[in-house]
A and B are shown apart, each in its own frame.
Chain A
Amino acid sequence: MVIGAKTQNTLLTLETSTANYILKTEQLSIGYSTRTAPIVVQKNLNITLKKGTFVCLLGNNGVGKSTLLRTLSLMQPQLEGTILLNQKSIDTYNSQEIATEISLVLTEPIPTSNLSVLEVVALGRQPYTNWIGNLSFDDHTMIAQAMEQTQVAKFATKKLHELSDGQKQRVMIARALAQNTPLIFLDEPTAHLDIHYKISILSLLKTICKTLDKSIVIATHEISFATQLADQLWLMFPDKFVSGAPDELIKNKSLQKLFNTNLVSFDANSKHFSLKHR
């Protein structure tokens, strides 16, 4: 009966809101289950993500940004609540179906291997290829396009271990693009990049988001770029979650509270955190 009531509920929200929510969470708790009591990182999260929006997820170190992204992409189980992907509970998807909906770029280091750049980007096509992984003509087009967009095509034949950290990061982003999913989650995608590639990757993601109508969520510490580029900011505080357009959040001073210390202050005009003048 409970399940019946829940579907009913979902249908209602569907009718009242518009159906263009690609992802929606209800009373979601995230964290880690241990043998005794679960470690709750964040709870009561009610997040909605519209199609074609560019979202930046901001918050202190350790506040649960990565945990949220991992939970939303089914890499780790939610503690409580539901996640709806395309109005369907995310638990009903199998691992291959999820891979055609959500692609990921993670912060974890990539093990050294002898894979070439081309091979890594091609791995992004795995959810679509047959059992042995043969690439079709379409797959090749998609791979070439992804490498062109991220400017990694010029070292396509290089081995992964020969690249710098920044180049590796762009290859991993190319791989996520090749996966061609309506949703892309990136955990600090600009961490190893110089300012040129920081801006080029972020604006590329923004362009992809707009032209291909994809939803992109990035966890980042680039607050000034985030406020300039994002359609929406998700702010994670230890005890609450706030979302909204950047200007709105600056106006109601939510953004200022993000780093509420006596070391830094937020300047609403330049959209910048800087050292506090004493």
Chain B
Amino acid sequence: MLIMAMLNLSLGSVSIPIKDIFQSLIGEENTNKSWQYIIANYRLPKTITAMMVGSSLAISGLLMQTLFRNPLAGPFVLGISSGASLGVAFLLLSAGLFGSAFANLAAMNYSMVLAASLGAFMVLLVVLMAAAKVRNTMSILIIGLMFGSFTSAIISILAYFSNAEQLQQFMFWSYGSVGNLSWFDIGLFLGVEIIGFAMILFIIKPLNSLLLGENYAKSMGVNFKTTRTLALIATSLLTGVCTAFAGPIAFIGLAVPHLTKLIINTSNHKVLVPAVALMGAIVMLISDTIAQLPNSSFTLPINAVTTLFGAPIVIWLLVRKRKILF
């Protein structure tokens, strides 16, 4: 991961020699002031964000797959990112419907983060309320998926009534990006991520017995409702904060747990949780490095890269190993 992080730091629109990156990282005076500026305020935040987004989404995916015992589950099955998208869509696209009252708001940098967080939080509340009512875990999965469809329908309606410029702005957001975060943003992100990870630490043990199914887990002393609620809240926090800061990053949450399990061949969450987090960070760093298109001034949408390069890898691993396991 360290190697990938270094690689990620060293590649960008402006090429900077690795030696100089080292120097500026350990705080030595650098010959080139602008290089130092780029690294401290642009590249390093981006690298850290990529790692945090990757590990958060991958862990969330693992949680959902174990909880729902469904290999197709991912961090977005709860509809969290759809909620965030809806929040942003309202902010950016509603100008077409309600005049330009929101247009000024949209110019503000934080309004997008705020809108995404609000949207994600609203959906989280509804999902948790549904989870308290519904006894069957599979139903929660379906409720989450329904939310996804519901919000995308609303977004299409909003998109239909908005102009090209607004639409483009929304499209850019939905491409995802791990850049453009200030150090303050990163601090906030890290805070939420630590809370989420702390929650997960306490459900590692029940998650292992959940591999035998709900009833067996209960018979071995697992308080299922508490575990489920903790897992849902942790996932929502992690995916919510990722989507708010980096947009809806696809694929990582679904694929990284499978990739990790195919490589390390265990189901024990004590091993899996750190491994998946590490793997998520690495995959995200690689994706971001590719997205930078080294030595060119173009940047690809990261969302396209994660899927474009990740999907064939997972297919290849599955064809080779044949069996998908939890």
Question: B-contacting residues of A (Cβ < 8 Å)?
Answer: 70, 73, 75, 94-100, 102-104, 106, 108, 110-115, 119-120, 123-124, 126-127, 129, 131-133, 161, 179
Residues of A within 8 A of B211 (CB): 111, 113, 115
B101 within 8 A of A: no
Q: CA–CA, A3 to B211, complex, Å?
A: 40
B176-202 residues with Cβ-Cβ distance < 8 A to A are: 201-202
Could you tell me if B218 and A95 are in contact, using CB atoms closer than 8 angstroms? yes
- Within the complex, which residue of A102, A106, A114, A120 is in contact with B265, where a contact is CB–CB below 8 Å? A114
Look across to chain A and name the residue whose beta carbon is closest to the beta carbon of B220. A126
Q: Could you pull out 11 A-B pairs where Cβ atoms are within 8 angstroms?
A: A95-B223, A108-B215, A110-B216, A123-B212, A126-B205, A126-B208, A131-B205, A132-B204, A132-B270, A133-B204, A161-B325
Give the shortest distance, in Å, between A186 (CB) and chain B (any CB): 11
B276-326 residues with Cβ-Cβ distance < 8 A to A are: 323, 325-326
Q: CA–CA, A106 to B215, complex, Å?
A: 8
Known A-B contacts A99-B220, A100-B221, A104-B219; A114 and B261 likewise in contact (beta carbons under 8 Å): yes
Residues of B within 8 A of A100 (CB): 221
Q: CA–CA, A104 to B266, complex, Å?
A: 25
Q: CA–CA, A127 to B218, complex, Å?
A: 10
Q: CA–CA, A119 to B69, complex, Å?
A: 18
B10 within 8 A of A: no
- Within the complex, which residue of B209, B215, B266, B326 is in contact with A112, where a contact is CB–CB below 8 Å? B326
- Within the complex, which residue of B215, B216, B325 is in contact with A114, where a contact is CB–CB below 8 Å? B325
Could you tell me if A133 and B205 are in contact, using CB atoms closer than 8 angstroms? yes
- Within the complex, which residue of B69, B202, B222, B326 is in contact with A126, where a contact is CB–CB below 8 Å? B222
Could you tell me if A75 and B213 are in contact, using CB atoms closer than 8 angstroms? no
Could you tell me if A132 and B326 are in contact, using CB atoms closer than 8 angstroms? no
* Chain A contact residues, majority secondary structure: loop
Known A-B contacts A95-B223, A131-B202, A131-B205; A120 and B215 likewise in contact (beta carbons under 8 Å): no
Residues of B within 8 A of A106 (CB): 215-216, 219
Residues of A within 8 A of B266 (CB): 114
Residues of B within 8 A of A111 (CB): 69, 211-213, 326
Q: CA–CA, A129 to B221, complex, Å?
A: 11
Please give 19 more A-B residue pairs, beta carbons under 8 A apart, in addition to A106-B215, A119-B267, A161-B323.
Answer: A75-B219, A95-B218, A106-B216, A106-B219, A110-B212, A112-B323, A112-B325, A114-B266, A115-B208, A115-B211, A115-B212, A115-B267, A119-B268, A120-B212, A123-B208, A123-B220, A127-B220, A129-B205, A133-B204
Q: CA–CA, A97 to B215, complex, Å?
A: 16
Give the shortest distance, in Å, between B277 (CB) and chain A (any CB): 16
Q: CA–CA, A277 to B307, complex, Å?
A: 69
Could you tell me if B219 and A133 are in contact, using CB atoms closer than 8 angstroms? no
Look across to chain A and name the residue whose beta carbon is closest to the beta carbon of B70. A111
Look across to chain A and name the residue whose beta carbon is closest to the beta carbon of B325. A114
Could you tell me if A108 and B270 are in contact, using CB atoms closer than 8 angstroms? no
Residues of A within 8 A of B215 (CB): 70, 75, 104, 106, 108
- Within the complex, which residue of B208, B216, B268 is in contact with A104, where a contact is CB–CB below 8 Å? B216
Could you tell me if B219 and A113 are in contact, using CB atoms closer than 8 angstroms? no
Look across to chain A and name the residue whose beta carbon is closest to the beta carbon of B207. A133
Known A-B contacts A75-B218, A95-B218, A95-B223; A110 and B213 likewise in contact (beta carbons under 8 Å): yes
Q: CA–CA, A64 to B267, complex, Å?
A: 35
Q: CA–CA, A98 to B219, complex, Å?
A: 8
Known A-B contacts A108-B215, A114-B265; A123 and B209 likewise in contact (beta carbons under 8 Å): yes
Looking at B213, B216, B219, B220, which has the most chain A CB atoms within 10 Å of its CB? Answer: B219
Q: CA–CA, A110 to B325, complex, Å?
A: 12
- Within the complex, which residue of B221, B261, B268 is in contact with A98, where a contact is CB–CB below 8 Å? B221
Looking at B202, B212, B223, B270, which has the most chain A CB atoms within 10 Å of its CB? Answer: B212
Q: CA–CA, A95 to B217, complex, Å?
A: 10
Could you tell me if A133 and B221 are in contact, using CB atoms closer than 8 angstroms? no
Residues of A within 8 A of B218 (CB): 75, 95
Looking at A94, A110, A113, A124, which has the most chain B CB atoms within 10 Å of its CB? Answer: A113
Residues of B within 8 A of A94 (CB): 223
Q: CA–CA, A102 to B220, complex, Å?
A: 9
Residues of B within 8 A of A124 (CB): 220
Q: CA–CA, A104 to B218, complex, Å?
A: 10
Look across to chain B and name the residue whose beta carbon is closest to the beta carbon of A129. B205
Residues of B within 8 A of A73 (CB): 219
Q: Which 9 A-B pairs have the closest CB atoms?
A: A99-B221, A114-B267, A133-B205, A127-B221, A96-B221, A104-B219, A114-B325, A113-B211, A113-B326
